Amino acid sequence: MAKIDQGILGPFSGKVGTVVGVRWKGQWCMRSYVARICDRRSPLQLEQRSRFTAMIRFAQQAVHAIRLGFKQKADEHNVTEGNWFTHRNTGAFRMSGGSLVVDYERIAVAEGRLAGVAFRQPEFGADGTLRVPFEDDRNLPRTSRQDSVYLFAYLPALGQGLLLPPAVRQSECLTASLPATWQGEEVHLYGFTVGRKGGVSNSCYLGHATLGLPTRRLELNLPLPTIPTRCSTAPTNPVLPTPETPSTSIVSTPKRTAQSTEGQQLSLFGFMETPPPG
């Protein structure tokens, strides 16, 4: 049965014959009514339903982040934020060997044209505190010192998500406390920026870590530099500086150099730099 609140020419809600009146995004719409469906429950159908179910469960916990992060795209395409989330993240939920696999590093919770901040390594404390420093170039167009920087944390084991209180762009650091019930579980972090004058940046996956461990830094999910094969032919005994030579470097680790067979040098400061070609 349908209900008409504004007369015969007004909108209605409910089922009338083969159509259904609903309110969507502030507008009254009519949808076709499907009386029967063919549910064969084939293996491909069951896999697709498993993917969609996992995607919806993630979206339900990230609803506050999604409403902020996908509002601009949803308005441009005249869809809801949840619909754009499923469109954007379909490839992150896949089946492998009959089991569901979630690529958390591929999930996006925000998308836009605003210039975001450069997140640095997050630091987790044993008491559940979280500190995420970030850098910002204030000379970028359409940005403001008062833009809001958000972090979204997701806990797969409990199926829970939390949008942390934001920090302003000029603070260059975000500090928050995670729930005590999350201790001992793995958490995934996402960051994005919302402009004070409108607009949103693309989200950035910051990595994952297990809470409750001693104070540590979270390793960012960044590609490692490729070391050329020719470096493997360098002598195994590098030449160390003589003790009589005073060190003027502010790095506490002594500088070591190794001569390669091609006459080039490789500098070591606790990390490796690729020598220039030629």
Task: Name the average pLDDT for the chain.
Answer: 78
Architecture (CATH level 2) of domain 45-217: Sandwich (2.60)
Residue 91 pLDDT greater than 80, yes or no: yes
DSSP-derived letter for residue 200 is B
Residue 80 pLDDT greater than 80, yes or no: yes
Higher-confidence residue of 38 and 224: namely: 38
pLDDT band at 229 (very low <50, low <70, confident <90, very high): very low
Tell me the sheet residues that pair with 173: 133
C-alpha 229/C-alpha 170 separation (Å) is 43
C-alpha 36/C-alpha 246 separation (Å) is 85
Q: How much is the pLDDT for 14?
A: 85
Would residue 73 be called left, alpha or beta, if left means φ above 0 and alpha means ψ between -120 and 50 degrees? Answer: alpha
What is the average per-residue pLDDT within 96-115? 92
What are the sequence ranges of the domains in the chain?
A: 7-32, 45-217, 231-278
Q: How much is the pLDDT for 140?
A: 78
**pTM > 0.85: yes or no:** no
Q: Are 207 and 155 in contact (CB under 8 A)?
A: no
| 119-165 per-position pLDDT tens digit | 999 998 878 889 999 998 767 778 888 999 999 999 999 999 999 99
| 246-277 per-position pLDDT tens digit | 433 333 334 444 344 444 444 444 444 455 55
